[in-house]
Structure 1
């Protein structure tokens, strides 16, 4: 009974904190986007060319990477003054280059909307020894977690200030990187665990969340969740919701018109239990937190590999993901299906016939938005047939 009462408490607390966000069709337009990972060198000194080229392919929105992590290639392959930082002016990180200013100027000159694609927990300059989250480990002692600890005051304040400085630019929106998650074993550190215990009465201990430990590929892993695990996962989901809302409010203090898009894992719309367990992610939570768009990572190469599907079955699954996402978002245009055009494994451009097959399947879900991924130049853009 106590477990059930705790779960009900968290759900009611969350629902009381957020009212359902209803977006009118006038507020949300259909995005035909391109997500820029690294700008090709040929556009250095000629950003106008890039925007003219993408516009000729029907693109109305560009998602531009404004963070630079330690292993990232820089835009234009330019020399960088620091190992990690951002492409906008701020006092809270190294400014690699103030490229965002020019991107906004030329995007708007060509009547294209510009979204800043920004990371949070995976920012290299935030992932210091003291700032890292901690995770439970089936092997023994706790280990470092996935990313920077959002329960640590200085991490949270840095993120809030970065988003505020980012919004000082005349950008149309911000796309959250796919690092805005908390993984299934994370949250055992001295910042998160006491807060969870205070709010639920449950200690963050592996025996409270996992029934068994088994061998898998030569190492020990947790298996079988307890009821308390789901209380933990829901709580982490609610904490991400709070931070999302805070980041949105921080940005809107300087740029009230700005929109927010959240990266959504492909499992999230079709397997809620898995998504909440693995990532502490739920689409309806993001909606209630204030997300305007939901950028679903429908990457065909990844999905085909992980699910062991042929091209037809992969396209069919991506179509079903789009359908479920539309049902949960409540607005077909608010769902951005991110469609892969180039291999993430160095194999060049993917087959255009396979791309068209995916396009046909997602159209069955309605007039959804799309964004092609990854883009380095206009040559990376495939166009869905009419």
Structure 2
């Protein structure tokens, strides 16, 4: 018996109720999520894909947005005159730092790999706080502002036109508790969240779904075969009500959309720190989180992320922890390794 099959059989055999309007597309090889890689020339981009291909990666998730204080993902060493925020693909709707996506698509095809472009939504640092689409307090796109959803549709359409195999939507498509909260609203009382706030949270979840639906429609109009993955927080697998109240993520509502896969931010080291667990306790907790989310959307529509670097210390996560989590997952479930850092 395959070791992942054996350990998964030990972990769970429960029957689940699944909301699944879509069948996810197959994934080629291992999945690498890249937030940053140092490159100084276009040749370095080719070297990056060649090296990833040699290491068994068949799918690459590449960050193609740049917020303030991010490290530049360019093929030039001179970044002094670049915008402090923008994107890495051709568009009229954000400053273009460099078109990195088009040559990355070419390199992915050259090595028979799939390229997913990873793009943000509400944060949009490239738009000034006074922009009419933004909430001036949070400096984020207000999905209630007329024009915000069409703006995102246009931005994502331009990305889809580059010919990417897929798009990963960043984890900023959420509404946190106090984002654009009307004055005088009490969030909680001694009984918990107030009915007034619950109504607001449900409306937020609805507009997030409407935004996603609009993005999906626009992407598929220009690139019908482009797969869309959506980042979801691990709280959807520990306390779905908290995920709704704190983030306005309603997994049952999201599951009804034709999202190809839900990208679970199942970072076990982060979970260990936030839930006061040891690393190995967090590995088992993370496996339970993934199972709980799959109970709603289906195993065939998830791609859990396995953390390879401690986000606090910057140190590599021991291979024993990575392998322990791999063994606890069903053999058929693909995973993305985050972050994968390769210097050409």
TM over 0.5, shorter chain: yes
CA offsets per residue over residues 17-49 of structure 1, 9 Å max, x none?
xxx652236x34476311110122267423222
Give me the whole-angstrom Cα distance separating, in 2, the residues matched to 1:275 and 1:112.
34
The worse-fitting range, judged by mean Cα deviation, of 342-351 and 259-268 is: 342-351
Matched, 1:152 2:117: no
- 2:306–2:335 CA contact under 8 A, matched in 1: yes
Matched, 1:206 2:185: yes
Residue number in structure 1 paired with 2:13: none
Matched, 1:41 2:34: no
**Helix, strand or coil: the match of 1:121?**
coil
CA offsets per residue over residues 218-275 of structure 1, 9 Å max, x none?
xxxxx93112222221111011000000011111111011111010101112311110
Quick one: which of 216, 222, 226 aligns to 1:254?
222
Quick one: which of 223, 229, 235 aligns to 2:203?
235
Residue number in structure 2 paired with 1:290: 258
Alignment of 1:295-314 (within 5 A): 295-314=263-282
Residue number in structure 1 paired with 2:7: none
CA offsets per residue over residues 57-83 of structure 1, 9 Å max, x none?
221211111111111100146515211
Residue number in structure 1 paired with 2:239: 271
Pick closer, same or farther for the CA change 1:340–1:183 going to 2, 3 Å.
same
- 1:294–1:334 CA contact under 8 A, matched in 2: yes
Of structures 1 and 2, the one with the larger relative CO (CA 8 A, separation 6+) is 2
**Of Structure 1 and Structure 2, which has the larger fraction of its residues in strand?**
1
Residue number in structure 2 paired with 1:367: 332
Matched, 1:72 2:70: yes
Moved over 6 A (4+): none
Give me the whole-angstrom Cα distance separating, in 2, the residues matched to 1:39 and 1:102.
15
- 2:22–2:258 CA contact under 8 A, matched in 1: no
- 2:32–2:60 CA contact under 8 A, matched in 1: yes
The worse-fitting range, judged by mean Cα deviation, of 350-359 and 301-310 is: 350-359
**Helix, strand or coil: the match of 1:248?**
helix
Quick one: which of 61, 64, 71 aligns to 1:63?
61
- 1:275–1:281 CA contact under 8 A, matched in 2: yes
CA offsets per residue over residues 329-357 of structure 1, 9 Å max, x none?
12x23211111111222432111111111
Q: What RMSD over aligned residues (CA atoms) do the two structures have, in Å? A: 2.2
Pick closer, same or farther for the CA change 1:48–1:315 going to 2, 3 Å.
same
Residue number in structure 1 paired with 2:94: 93
Q: CA deviation at 1:159?
A: 1.4
- 2:39–2:45 CA contact under 8 A, matched in 1: no
Query: Which protein shows a greater Rg?
Result: 1
**Number of paired residues?**
322
- 1:43–1:50 CA contact under 8 A, matched in 2: no
**Helix, strand or coil: the match of 1:375?**
coil
Matched, 1:24 2:20: no
Matched, 1:354 2:330: no
Q: CA deviation at 1:127?
A: 5.0
TM-score, normalised relative to structure 2: 0.87
- 2:198–2:245 CA contact under 8 A, matched in 1: yes
Residue number in structure 1 paired with 2:12: none
Q: CA deviation at 1:125?
A: 1.5
Give 5+ residue unaligned stretches, structure 2.
Answer: 1-18
